[in-house]
Structure 1
């Protein structure tokens, strides 16, 4: 699915099943909550923290994918609400990073090991 398709699909879902968009500030708070859920799983799967319930480790990869999808969904909601074309925004962002970081990462000794 292309980003533009995703934006349209989320908009259709919101306006039918979801009834309407939450206010932008509410969606920003929800986005932070969802990012926190991704961080919690990352800390347990790749960091030093362990799962409180060892059985949770069995579904961790599926849970991580679902939480990342939640982050993407809410980010798309915010983009739709604020008139951001995510395809164009990402294109411009990659262009900026490419110009800015053309030598930066190649010269970074920390990345060479």
Structure 2
């Protein structure tokens, strides 16, 4: 693993530390959910301009997409921390669920 790479568990600890030292405290779960949707909307706006039919407004660029993804990950991590959910356990469980459900589904899809 590269020195700059962190595990999901480390991410959760780092975000928690940031909240407690710089952010003062977590916003409520409902507020963070609203912020998450706001951040997803910002990503959607940029994606519509880069891959869709809209053009960029002044000051907007596709270069902002990684920042928006980072914002989404940060807020999602806040929510996981607040609810005592391990991101590592959640993604491991989801991959297992999707593998069991979709083992041959996509291979057998003539549309793909």
TM range (shorter): over 0.9
Secondary structure at the residue paired with 2:111? helix
Q: Does 1:101 align with 2:70?
A: no
Equivalent residue runs for 1:13-52 within 5 Å: 13-52=18-57
RMSD value, Cα:
0.9
Match of 2:17 in 1: 12
Q: CA deviation at 1:48?
A: 1.2
The answer to which structure has the higher helix fraction is 1
| Separation (CA, whole Å) in 2 of partners of 1:52 and 1:33 | 18
| Separation (CA, whole Å) in 1 of partners of 2:78 and 2:60 | 29
Match of 2:3 in 1: none
| Separation (CA, whole Å) in 1 of partners of 2:41 and 2:60 | 17
Cα deviations across residues 5-53 of structure 1 (Å, max 9, x unaligned)?
0000000000010000000000000000000000000000111111122
Match of 1:90 in 2: 91
TM-score, length basis structure 2: 0.92
TM-score, length basis structure 1: 0.91
Where does structure 1 lack aligned partners over 5 or more consecutive residues?
none
Query: Which portions of structure 1, spanning 4 or more consecutive aligned residues, are displaced by more than 4 angstroms?
Result: none
Cα deviations across residues 67-87 of structure 1 (Å, max 9, x unaligned)?
100000000000000010000
Question: How many residues are aligned here?
Answer: 107
Where does structure 2 lack aligned partners over 5 or more consecutive residues?
1-5
Secondary structure at the residue paired with 1:110? coil
